[in-house]
Amino acid sequence: MSPRASLRPWVAALAGIAALLAVILCGLPPSPVSAQPAAPAPPAKRERDAVHFTDALRVNDPKLAETFDGAADSLQAGHEIVILFDGRSVTALRMNLRKAKKTPLEEIGLSRQEQTAWAERLGLPAAQAPRNRFELVQRLAGAGAKVFVNRNAVKLYGLGDEEIHPIATPISERQMAKLLDETGLCYTYRH
């Protein structure tokens, strides 16, 4: 074997290393011979927003209305929305056996004007307009919102999971904190 023939593999390897260094250092595109097909881009992740109820919900509270408005704004923007009942707000989901399993949220009614506005905002016929805050949570859930309740707060208020309306999925405090950590925007309701 001639000395030239024995150098060919080394020369080819050095050329490959030089091309790689040019790509790394200079940002030059790799040669077409060594180009690999690009991997498909990962699917775009939807932005997540949250509505975090931390206090007892009050009737006719403008802050409560603003908080629900935020949820609707996020849904309309195409964001994932989570509705979190935490602290004293968990009592709003307690089903009252003496009142046909109604929750305090159902007792926070919406005026005719609010019902009409919500029907328009959610793209619902007037007959399906929410009549109270509980139905509003139902309509938001129907539009894609996920509803959770802090299981630890439920226990702290002397309630059992079976007393909480099933619209909300019970989760641990750690899971709720993780959801909040992964949230871009949080509408918080507290007094």
Domain boundaries, the chain: 3-34, 48-189
Q: What pLDDT is recorded for position 41? A: 56
- The answer to whether residue 13 scores a pLDDT higher than 80 is no
Token duo for residue 60 = 């006719």
Mean per-residue pLDDT over the chain, rounded = 84
* Alpha carbons 57 and 34: distance in angstroms, whole number: 63
62-89 pLDDT, tens digit per residue, is 999 999 999 999 999 999 999 999 999 9
Nearest CA-CA partner of 176 in 51, 63, 47 = 51
Stretch 11-38: mean pLDDT = 54
* Alpha carbons 50 and 27: distance in angstroms, whole number: 41
Contact 91, 56 (CB under 8 A): yes
The share of the chain scoring above pLDDT 90, in percent, equals: 65
25-49 pLDDT, tens digit per residue, is 555 555 555 555 566 655 556 799 9
The CATH number corresponding to 48-189 among 3.40.50.720, 3.40.50.2300, 3.40.1260.10, 3.40.50.150 equals: 3.40.1260.10
Q: What pLDDT is recorded for position 60? A: 85
Neighbours of 81 (CB within 10 A): 27
Q: What is the pTM of this model?
A: 0.74
Neighbours of 124 (CB within 10 A): 16
Got the DSSP string for 150-176?
EHHHHHHTT--GGGB-TTSEEE-HHHH
Question: Residue 184 — very low, low, confident or very high, per pLDDT cuts 50/70/90?
Answer: very high
Q: What pLDDT is recorded for position 191? A: 83
